[in-house]
Structure 1
């Protein structure tokens, strides 16, 4: 299947640069995947589309302040490091600028030496492996020295770094936010609970590879980067009960979707407590076993994310919805508006 089939024209001015003042004030497009019909709502009204006994599944990952600015110990040259994935102990896979000047043995200092990193090897796709040295707790040092790794299409500074975290984030480890979850407030989640909607949490630590456009000519040539996921026994039990009792499982975001489908596809539609690494690639032709609907943002042309959405709702329905979103001037990407697919 050609990647170009998932292309569309997106005016640059529709790429949201800053979050709205109120999380749940964004617009909501409701897409019926059977009929292709579209409704225009606000996100606050999303509760109206849920029924008692349904289950909302949220990704509780927390974004690391993973962008570090330092200097080479020997020359004082500036170096930017973006943490991608913890390999073992204090060794991390990273992206580096300028990568060509960082070789094995290069030492980079951050915050007047409070954090020191030695390059111990190369990683895939031009990345570098760094071993970090510090005193105290690594994540506390990172909180004081690191910056939030906003996507490259966002050029504005973020005044409040918590706006790039969901209100339910708790498991640190992501290089990017599960952005569909950014629309939820505590009040909205409480409304869901009051209506009899179950709330379940999974964890998938988001890697930057998820958001990159597919560079291959055909979908079948593309390889996904693996990401760590985890489901507890309590969540697995709740999801199985919801399914047995006829409730719908609605995932929040492509990250939750990929986690649920990874587990359900291995267990004939059932959920189990497990953790591991997933590189599942969902595109049209895929048979869903874990979800009945999804809340998601509006994605990049030719990305694996729009392919996943098209697998659920149909390519023609999704492209029509995206063309409508452009015409109606919906806001796109991380800080943009949302879509509910039912």
Structure 2
């Protein structure tokens, strides 16, 4: 197995002209192109063909996270705009699900645009029927801790963001929001508020495609991984060992693990929709390994660091790992797991759960491209060149692929 720590990011470069980045979504979600890669061969399809291309008995796994309007534009008395971008909650809750239901006040880790113009004191943002204030607490590693408070105090933070926040479009789109983005930069099954970026492989699904999937006997399941802004973080280190992978929060129900376990025990394929679903599924395996290796593990210690998957010699089967997680939940009398994962899936990684992937086309020199390469090897170049030669649209609002190694 090659050592992913020694990978040079310059080996994951391809030429992506700006005109190939899809700046806007297509009028119909499911009319995107679908590149079908199976065992080394490539064919061109439309996304509506996906249900017929999935292997029989597939369990298709979706990430049901919902993008929140995490950008808040505060206007100073002098007229200048200070932009605050909410990244992750700090107190009273660090769990996104709980933080979104917080009333009255909270503290988040944020990015601040135009910070030098924010001399001191509170900033005010008025919205219909209320006001939210922001106050800086501390700066750390390029982020700020921001204390928010609002009236009416009985509103949840989710409701505050919904009323006065703006959607955080990917920076590479390099354009202003349109009213259309509020629905189109959200999957049709988005349910759990807390992401600051969409799980974009899911943007192609329509009710019609979902109905065909069901009619074709493909089973579906939902997990939640709240996509962080780190998903857009370029790899600036020369070798991956020097790159710090971003952490993302993961929520899994007992019912989901039972469904996944049944699939794995019967050796039926599990195919995630999107890199976030894949990270979640593979992280579940490693969480099971951690529980087996550390019997005294507490619920707040459910974290997978970026190299954990590469530092183990003898490993249990996926069945044993998933059963260990179920036992862990039984021990704590809980029906859901809250964990965080920094897992980096790069060439040299051995997949434990996933047998394929539905995904978009990713940025050069990105950890997402490393993940694709881990799945299909050097053939990622063939796939991306084919997409380039055949006028596929790239990145978040771009076209799709079904990759079966």
Q: Is 1:28 equivalent to 2:34 in the alignment?
A: yes
Matched length: 336
State the distance in 2 between where 1:226 and 1:102 align.
29
Deviation of residue 176 (structure 1)? 0.4
Kindly indicate whether the alpha-carbon contact (under 8 Å) linking 2:68 and 2:196 is maintained by their aligned counterparts in 1: yes
RMSD of aligned Cα (Å): 1.6
Deviation of residue 153 (structure 1)? 1.6
State the distance in 1 between where 2:41 and 2:241 align.
30
Runs of 4+ in 1 over 3 A off after TM superposition: 100-103, 270-273
Deviation of residue 189 (structure 1)? 1.3
Q: 1:321 is matched with which residue: 383, 397, 403?
A: 383
Q: 1:170 is matched with which residue: 180, 185, 191?
A: 191
Deviates more, 1:13-22 or 1:182-191: 182-191
SS in 1 for 2:276: helix
**What is residue 85 of structure 1 aligned with on the other side?**
88
**What is residue 54 of structure 2 aligned with on the other side?**
50
Kindly indicate whether the alpha-carbon contact (under 8 Å) linking 1:70 and 1:79 is maintained by their aligned counterparts in 2: yes
**What is residue 222 of structure 1 aligned with on the other side?**
243
**What is residue 398 of structure 2 aligned with on the other side?**
336
Q: 1:148 is matched with which residue: 161, 167, 170?
A: 167
Q: Is 1:67 equivalent to 2:71 in the alignment?
A: yes
State the distance in 1 between where 2:117 and 2:351 align.
45
Deviation of residue 326 (structure 1)? 1.1
Kindly indicate whether the alpha-carbon contact (under 8 Å) linking 1:51 and 1:196 is maintained by their aligned counterparts in 2: no
Deviation per CA, 1:189-240, whole angstroms, max 9, x where unpaired?
1211222111111100001111222000011211111110011111100011
Q: Is 1:97 equivalent to 2:124 in the alignment?
A: no
Q: How does 1:299-318 map to 2 (within 5 A)?
A: 299-314=362-377, 316-318=378-380
State the distance in 2 between where 1:278 and 1:107 align.
34
**What is residue 17 of structure 1 aligned with on the other side?**
23
Deviates more, 1:299-308 or 1:267-276: 267-276
Deviation of residue 259 (structure 1)? 0.7
State the distance in 2 between where 1:188 and 1:50 align.
12
State the distance in 2 between where 1:221 and 1:339 align.
30
User: Where do 5+ consecutive residues of structure 2 fail to align?
Assistant: 1-6, 93-105, 289-315, 326-335
**What is residue 121 of structure 1 aligned with on the other side?**
138
Deviates more, 1:148-157 or 1:2-11: 148-157
TM normalised by structure 1 equals 0.94
State the distance in 1 between where 2:177 and 2:22 align.
12
